[in-house]
Structure 1
Protein backbone atom coordinates (compact mmCIF):
# COMPACT_ATOMS: atom_id res chain seq x y z
CA UNK A 1 0.00 0.00 0.00
CA UNK A 2 1.23 3.52 -0.81
CA UNK A 3 1.89 5.90 2.08
CA UNK A 4 0.57 9.45 2.22
CA UNK A 5 1.83 11.90 4.79
CA UNK A 6 -1.07 14.30 5.41
CA UNK A 7 0.09 17.44 7.20
CA UNK A 8 -2.11 20.24 8.47
CA UNK A 9 -1.66 23.58 10.12
CA UNK A 10 -4.00 25.62 12.29
CA UNK A 11 -6.70 26.80 9.91
CA UNK A 12 -10.41 25.93 10.18
CA UNK A 13 -10.29 23.07 7.60
CA UNK A 14 -8.01 21.12 9.95
CA UNK A 15 -11.18 20.30 11.91
CA UNK A 16 -12.24 18.26 8.84
CA UNK A 17 -9.04 16.22 8.71
CA UNK A 18 -10.71 12.96 9.77
CA UNK A 19 -12.95 13.11 6.69
CA UNK A 20 -9.90 13.84 4.51
CA UNK A 21 -8.11 10.84 6.03
CA UNK A 22 -11.10 8.61 5.30
CA UNK A 23 -11.29 9.89 1.71
CA UNK A 24 -7.57 9.24 1.22
CA UNK A 25 -7.91 5.75 2.67
CA UNK A 26 -10.83 5.05 0.33
CA UNK A 27 -8.46 6.02 -2.50
CA UNK A 28 -5.97 3.37 -1.34
CA UNK A 29 -3.58 5.39 0.81
CA UNK A 30 -2.02 4.42 4.13
CA UNK A 31 -2.22 7.81 5.88
CA UNK A 32 0.19 9.20 8.46
CA UNK A 33 -1.06 12.42 10.03
CA UNK A 34 1.23 15.26 11.09
CA UNK A 35 0.16 18.60 12.54
CA UNK A 36 1.71 21.89 13.51
CA UNK A 37 1.81 22.31 17.31
CA UNK A 38 -1.14 24.71 17.25
CA UNK A 39 -3.22 22.40 15.04
CA UNK A 40 -2.40 19.52 17.42
CA UNK A 41 -3.61 21.64 20.34
CA UNK A 42 -6.82 22.47 18.47
CA UNK A 43 -7.43 18.75 17.82
CA UNK A 44 -6.14 17.51 21.16
CA UNK A 45 -9.40 15.76 22.14
CA UNK A 46 -9.51 14.04 18.72
CA UNK A 47 -5.91 12.79 18.62
CA UNK A 48 -6.65 9.30 20.04
CA UNK A 49 -9.41 8.76 17.47
CA UNK A 50 -7.17 10.06 14.67
CA UNK A 51 -4.42 7.65 15.76
CA UNK A 52 -6.94 4.81 15.65
CA UNK A 53 -8.27 5.95 12.27
CA UNK A 54 -4.81 6.09 10.67
CA UNK A 55 -3.20 3.23 12.59
CA UNK A 56 -0.19 5.49 13.23
CA UNK A 57 0.73 7.97 15.95
CA UNK A 58 -0.25 11.54 15.10
CA UNK A 59 2.96 13.57 15.16
CA UNK A 60 3.54 17.24 15.83
CA UNK A 61 7.05 17.17 17.29
CA UNK A 62 10.44 15.95 16.11
CA UNK A 63 11.52 12.57 17.47
CA UNK A 64 14.61 12.34 19.64
CA UNK A 65 17.74 11.53 17.59
CA UNK A 66 18.35 7.79 17.54
CA UNK A 67 14.71 6.87 18.12
CA UNK A 68 13.23 4.66 15.41
CA UNK A 69 10.78 6.26 13.03
CA UNK A 70 7.19 5.24 13.79
CA UNK A 71 5.96 5.90 10.26
CA UNK A 72 6.70 4.09 7.00
CA UNK A 73 8.48 6.19 4.33
CA UNK A 74 6.23 8.56 2.39
CA UNK A 75 5.36 8.00 -1.25
CA UNK A 76 3.77 11.47 -1.38
CA UNK A 77 3.10 14.32 1.04
CA UNK A 78 0.03 16.56 1.16
CA UNK A 79 0.21 19.73 3.24
CA UNK A 80 -3.37 20.97 3.64
CA UNK A 81 -4.44 23.27 5.09
CA UNK A 82 -1.20 25.25 4.86
CA UNK A 83 -1.47 28.62 6.56
CA UNK A 84 0.22 31.89 5.63
CA UNK A 85 2.75 31.25 8.40
CA UNK A 86 3.46 27.69 7.29
CA UNK A 87 3.89 28.56 3.60
CA UNK A 88 6.31 31.36 4.45
CA UNK A 89 8.29 29.28 6.97
CA UNK A 90 8.60 26.44 4.48
CA UNK A 91 9.71 28.68 1.60
CA UNK A 92 12.34 30.28 3.84
CA UNK A 93 13.58 26.90 5.11
CA UNK A 94 12.63 27.64 8.73
CA UNK A 95 12.19 24.15 10.11
CA UNK A 96 11.37 24.69 13.78
CA UNK A 97 8.13 22.77 13.24
CA UNK A 98 8.27 19.03 12.59
CA UNK A 99 5.90 19.06 9.61
CA UNK A 100 7.71 21.97 7.95
CA UNK A 101 11.02 20.19 8.47
CA UNK A 102 9.70 17.05 6.80
CA UNK A 103 8.42 18.88 3.72
CA UNK A 104 11.58 20.99 3.46
CA UNK A 105 13.67 17.81 3.51
CA UNK A 106 11.15 16.12 1.22
CA UNK A 107 12.06 18.58 -1.53
CA UNK A 108 15.67 17.40 -1.36
CA UNK A 109 14.63 13.76 -1.22
CA UNK A 110 12.43 14.36 -4.29
CA UNK A 111 9.30 13.09 -2.56
CA UNK A 112 6.27 14.31 -4.52
CA UNK A 113 4.62 17.08 -2.50
CA UNK A 114 1.27 18.82 -2.87
CA UNK A 115 0.34 21.88 -0.83
CA UNK A 116 -2.97 23.68 -0.64
CA UNK A 117 -2.98 26.93 1.30
CA UNK A 118 -5.78 28.22 3.45
CA UNK A 119 -5.29 31.97 3.71
CA UNK A 120 -7.61 34.93 3.59
CA UNK A 121 -7.55 37.72 1.05
CA UNK A 122 -5.93 40.15 3.50
CA UNK A 123 -2.94 37.87 4.17
CA UNK A 124 -2.25 37.27 0.49
CA UNK A 125 -1.74 41.01 0.00
CA UNK A 126 1.54 40.68 1.89
CA UNK A 127 4.36 40.48 -0.71
CA UNK A 128 6.03 37.53 1.03
CA UNK A 129 3.16 35.16 0.25
CA UNK A 130 3.36 35.22 -3.56
CA UNK A 131 7.17 34.95 -3.35
CA UNK A 132 6.83 31.94 -1.06
CA UNK A 133 4.33 30.22 -3.38
CA UNK A 134 6.67 30.78 -6.33
CA UNK A 135 9.67 29.53 -4.33
CA UNK A 136 7.86 26.30 -3.48
CA UNK A 137 6.64 25.83 -7.04
CA UNK A 138 10.18 26.44 -8.28
CA UNK A 139 11.35 23.66 -5.97
CA UNK A 140 8.90 21.21 -7.56
CA UNK A 141 6.04 21.45 -5.04
CA UNK A 142 2.55 21.33 -6.55
CA UNK A 143 0.89 24.34 -4.91
CA UNK A 144 -2.89 24.38 -5.39
CA UNK A 145 -3.51 28.07 -5.09
CA UNK A 146 -5.65 30.17 -7.35
CA UNK A 147 -8.05 29.11 -10.07
CA UNK A 148 -7.61 25.30 -9.76
CA UNK A 149 -6.99 25.19 -6.03
CA UNK A 150 -7.69 27.30 -2.99
CA UNK A 151 -9.09 30.75 -3.71
CA UNK A 152 -8.67 33.13 -0.76
CA UNK A 153 -11.78 34.19 1.08
CA UNK A 154 -12.43 37.49 2.84
CA UNK A 155 -11.33 37.64 6.51
CA UNK A 156 -13.92 35.84 8.62
CA UNK A 157 -15.68 34.33 5.59
CA UNK A 158 -16.04 30.54 5.54
CA UNK A 159 -16.30 28.59 2.31
CA UNK A 160 -15.96 24.85 1.85
CA UNK A 161 -12.31 23.81 1.65
CA UNK A 162 -11.67 21.88 -1.60
CA UNK A 163 -10.19 18.73 -0.05
CA UNK A 164 -11.17 16.75 -3.15
CA UNK A 165 -8.86 18.88 -5.32
CA UNK A 166 -5.97 18.23 -2.93
CA UNK A 167 -6.55 14.49 -2.87
CA UNK A 168 -6.99 14.35 -6.67
CA UNK A 169 -3.65 16.17 -7.02
CA UNK A 170 -1.98 13.69 -4.65
CA UNK A 171 -2.85 10.83 -6.98
CA UNK A 172 -1.70 12.73 -10.07
CA UNK A 173 1.50 14.00 -8.44
CA UNK A 174 2.40 10.59 -7.06
CA UNK A 175 2.30 9.25 -10.63
CA UNK A 176 3.96 12.26 -12.28
CA UNK A 177 5.97 14.37 -9.81
CA UNK A 178 6.89 17.87 -10.94
CA UNK A 179 10.63 18.40 -11.35
CA UNK A 180 12.11 21.52 -9.75
CA UNK A 181 12.39 24.50 -12.09
CA UNK A 182 15.55 24.32 -14.13
CA UNK A 183 15.97 20.56 -13.59
Structure 2
Protein backbone atom coordinates (compact mmCIF):
# COMPACT_ATOMS: atom_id res chain seq x y z
CA UNK A 1 0.00 0.00 0.00
CA UNK A 2 1.36 3.40 -0.98
CA UNK A 3 1.59 6.38 1.33
CA UNK A 4 1.13 8.67 -1.68
CA UNK A 5 -2.26 10.34 -2.10
CA UNK A 6 -4.44 9.11 -4.93
CA UNK A 7 -4.34 11.93 -7.52
CA UNK A 8 -7.82 11.08 -8.81
CA UNK A 9 -9.40 11.28 -5.33
CA UNK A 10 -10.88 14.62 -4.32
CA UNK A 11 -9.75 16.00 -0.96
CA UNK A 12 -12.36 15.72 1.78
CA UNK A 13 -13.50 18.76 3.79
CA UNK A 14 -15.35 18.49 7.07
CA UNK A 15 -17.58 21.51 7.62
CA UNK A 16 -18.34 21.88 11.32
CA UNK A 17 -21.47 23.97 11.83
CA UNK A 18 -22.45 25.65 15.11
CA UNK A 19 -25.82 26.99 16.25
CA UNK A 20 -25.92 30.55 14.91
CA UNK A 21 -28.56 32.44 12.97
CA UNK A 22 -26.62 32.20 9.71
CA UNK A 23 -26.00 28.45 9.92
CA UNK A 24 -28.85 27.90 7.47
CA UNK A 25 -26.67 29.50 4.79
CA UNK A 26 -24.01 26.74 5.05
CA UNK A 27 -24.90 25.77 1.49
CA UNK A 28 -22.81 28.74 0.36
CA UNK A 29 -19.65 27.14 1.77
CA UNK A 30 -20.60 23.69 0.52
CA UNK A 31 -21.11 25.02 -3.01
CA UNK A 32 -17.86 27.01 -2.97
CA UNK A 33 -15.92 23.97 -1.74
CA UNK A 34 -17.43 21.68 -4.36
CA UNK A 35 -16.62 24.22 -7.07
CA UNK A 36 -12.98 23.97 -5.89
CA UNK A 37 -13.13 20.17 -6.22
CA UNK A 38 -13.61 19.24 -2.57
CA UNK A 39 -15.89 16.47 -1.38
CA UNK A 40 -17.75 17.73 1.69
CA UNK A 41 -19.30 16.24 4.81
CA UNK A 42 -21.13 18.26 7.46
CA UNK A 43 -20.70 17.76 11.20
CA UNK A 44 -23.06 19.83 13.33
CA UNK A 45 -23.17 20.63 17.01
CA UNK A 46 -26.37 19.18 18.47
CA UNK A 47 -27.86 22.68 18.81
CA UNK A 48 -27.05 23.51 15.17
CA UNK A 49 -29.29 20.76 13.83
CA UNK A 50 -32.36 22.98 14.29
CA UNK A 51 -30.82 25.61 12.00
CA UNK A 52 -30.11 23.26 9.09
CA UNK A 53 -32.06 21.71 6.24
CA UNK A 54 -30.75 18.17 6.61
CA UNK A 55 -32.36 16.91 3.41
CA UNK A 56 -30.84 19.69 1.31
CA UNK A 57 -27.39 19.16 2.83
CA UNK A 58 -27.55 15.40 2.28
CA UNK A 59 -28.60 15.94 -1.34
CA UNK A 60 -25.75 18.41 -1.92
CA UNK A 61 -23.01 16.43 -0.22
CA UNK A 62 -24.14 12.83 -0.60
CA UNK A 63 -23.67 12.34 3.16
CA UNK A 64 -26.07 12.78 6.08
CA UNK A 65 -25.24 15.40 8.70
CA UNK A 66 -23.45 13.90 11.68
CA UNK A 67 -23.77 15.25 15.20
CA UNK A 68 -23.53 12.26 17.52
CA UNK A 69 -20.86 9.71 18.31
CA UNK A 70 -21.13 6.43 16.44
CA UNK A 71 -21.55 3.18 18.35
CA UNK A 72 -18.59 0.83 18.68
CA UNK A 73 -18.35 -1.35 15.60
CA UNK A 74 -20.38 1.02 13.41
CA UNK A 75 -18.64 2.09 10.21
CA UNK A 76 -17.15 5.57 10.03
CA UNK A 77 -19.81 7.79 8.46
CA UNK A 78 -17.37 10.07 6.63
CA UNK A 79 -13.99 9.57 4.95
CA UNK A 80 -11.01 10.97 6.86
CA UNK A 81 -10.75 14.76 6.66
CA UNK A 82 -8.02 16.42 4.63
CA UNK A 83 -9.08 19.77 6.12
CA UNK A 84 -11.74 21.21 8.41
CA UNK A 85 -13.71 24.46 8.21
CA UNK A 86 -15.63 25.58 11.30
CA UNK A 87 -18.31 27.98 10.12
CA UNK A 88 -20.11 29.63 11.70
CA UNK A 89 -18.13 29.16 14.91
CA UNK A 90 -19.85 30.38 18.06
CA UNK A 91 -18.42 31.85 21.26
CA UNK A 92 -19.24 28.62 23.09
CA UNK A 93 -17.58 26.31 20.58
CA UNK A 94 -14.45 28.45 20.27
CA UNK A 95 -13.95 28.62 24.04
CA UNK A 96 -14.67 24.94 24.65
CA UNK A 97 -12.43 23.85 21.76
CA UNK A 98 -9.52 25.99 22.95
CA UNK A 99 -9.93 24.61 26.47
CA UNK A 100 -9.86 21.02 25.19
CA UNK A 101 -13.47 20.07 25.84
CA UNK A 102 -14.71 17.21 23.66
CA UNK A 103 -18.26 16.79 24.93
CA UNK A 104 -19.83 16.72 21.46
CA UNK A 105 -18.81 14.96 18.27
CA UNK A 106 -17.96 18.31 16.67
CA UNK A 107 -15.66 19.31 19.54
CA UNK A 108 -14.10 15.85 19.67
CA UNK A 109 -13.23 16.09 15.97
CA UNK A 110 -11.78 19.57 16.44
CA UNK A 111 -9.69 18.60 19.46
CA UNK A 112 -8.36 15.51 17.71
CA UNK A 113 -7.58 17.43 14.48
CA UNK A 114 -4.75 19.25 16.21
CA UNK A 115 -2.98 16.02 17.13
CA UNK A 116 -3.55 14.62 13.64
CA UNK A 117 -2.18 17.73 11.94
CA UNK A 118 -5.35 18.37 9.94
CA UNK A 119 -5.42 21.95 8.61
CA UNK A 120 -8.34 23.74 10.26
CA UNK A 121 -9.89 27.13 9.58
CA UNK A 122 -12.40 28.87 11.81
CA UNK A 123 -14.86 31.62 10.91
CA UNK A 124 -16.11 33.05 14.21
CA UNK A 125 -19.62 34.45 14.27
CA UNK A 126 -20.54 36.36 17.40
CA UNK A 127 -21.43 39.82 18.54
CA UNK A 128 -18.97 42.34 19.91
CA UNK A 129 -20.37 42.11 23.46
CA UNK A 130 -19.55 38.40 23.58
CA UNK A 131 -16.19 38.98 21.89
CA UNK A 132 -15.30 41.48 24.65
CA UNK A 133 -15.16 38.67 27.21
CA UNK A 134 -11.50 37.96 28.06
CA UNK A 135 -11.94 34.22 27.52
CA UNK A 136 -12.66 34.78 23.84
CA UNK A 137 -9.36 36.52 23.04
CA UNK A 138 -7.48 33.96 25.13
CA UNK A 139 -9.19 31.18 23.20
CA UNK A 140 -8.28 32.72 19.84
CA UNK A 141 -4.67 33.01 21.02
CA UNK A 142 -4.68 29.33 22.06
CA UNK A 143 -6.16 28.28 18.71
CA UNK A 144 -3.50 30.28 16.86
CA UNK A 145 -0.84 28.48 18.95
CA UNK A 146 -2.43 25.26 17.65
CA UNK A 147 -1.97 26.52 14.05
CA UNK A 148 -5.71 27.01 13.54
CA UNK A 149 -6.33 29.52 10.74
CA UNK A 150 -8.65 32.28 11.95
CA UNK A 151 -10.89 34.48 9.83
CA UNK A 152 -10.25 38.20 9.63
CA UNK A 153 -13.94 38.98 10.18
CA UNK A 154 -14.98 41.28 12.98
CA UNK A 155 -17.78 40.56 15.44
CA UNK A 156 -21.09 42.27 14.64
CA UNK A 157 -22.90 44.76 16.88
CA UNK A 158 -25.31 43.25 19.40
CA UNK A 159 -28.94 43.29 18.29
CA UNK A 160 -27.91 44.36 14.76
CA UNK A 161 -29.37 41.44 12.85
CA UNK A 162 -26.12 39.54 12.95
CA UNK A 163 -24.10 40.89 10.04
CA UNK A 164 -25.02 37.91 7.86
CA UNK A 165 -24.56 40.01 4.73
CA UNK A 166 -20.88 40.51 5.62
CA UNK A 167 -20.06 36.91 6.58
CA UNK A 168 -17.58 35.57 4.01
CA UNK A 169 -18.14 31.81 3.84
CA UNK A 170 -15.48 31.43 1.14
CA UNK A 171 -12.81 32.77 3.50
CA UNK A 172 -12.56 29.29 5.01
CA UNK A 173 -11.34 27.97 1.66
CA UNK A 174 -9.03 30.95 1.16
CA UNK A 175 -7.40 30.17 4.51
CA UNK A 176 -7.13 26.43 3.86
CA UNK A 177 -5.88 26.46 0.27
CA UNK A 178 -2.25 27.31 1.09
CA UNK A 179 -2.27 24.86 4.01
CA UNK A 180 -3.50 21.86 2.03
CA UNK A 181 -1.44 20.15 -0.63
CA UNK A 182 -3.01 18.29 -3.51
CA UNK A 183 -5.07 19.09 -6.58
CA UNK A 184 -7.55 21.95 -6.57
Question: When the two structures are superposed, what TM-score results if normalisation uses the length of structure 2?
Answer: 0.88
- 8 Å contact from structure 2 (residues 57, 65) kept in 1: yes
Provide the residue aligned with 1:107 in structure 2. Answer: 114
Provide the residue aligned with 2:29 in structure 1. Answer: 20
Q: 2:7 aligned with 1:4, yes or no?
A: no
Runs of 5+ in structure 1 lacking a partner?
177-183
Superposed CA deviations along residues 101-145 of structure 1, whole A, max 9, x for unmatched, are: 10100000111111111011000111100010011110111122x
Provide the residue aligned with 1:175 in structure 2. Answer: 181
Instruction: Please state whether the residue corresponding to 1:12 is helix, strand or coil.
Output: coil
Runs of 5+ in structure 2 lacking a partner?
1-9
Q: Distance in 2 between matches of 1:171 and 1:28?
A: 12
Residue correspondence of structure 1 range 128-143 to structure 2 within 5 A: 128-143=135-150
Question: Which of structure 1's runs of 4+ aligned residues deviate more than 6 A?
Answer: none
Q: Distance in 1 between matches of 2:173 and 2:97?
A: 21
Q: 2:93 aligned with 1:86, yes or no?
A: yes
How far residue 156 of structure 1 moved from its aligned partner, in angstroms, is: 1.9
Question: When the two structures are superposed, what TM-score results if normalisation uses the length of structure 1?
Answer: 0.89
RMSD of aligned C-alpha atoms?
1.3
Superposed CA deviations along residues 49-80 of structure 1, whole A, max 9, x for unmatched, are: 21111011210111112211011111000001
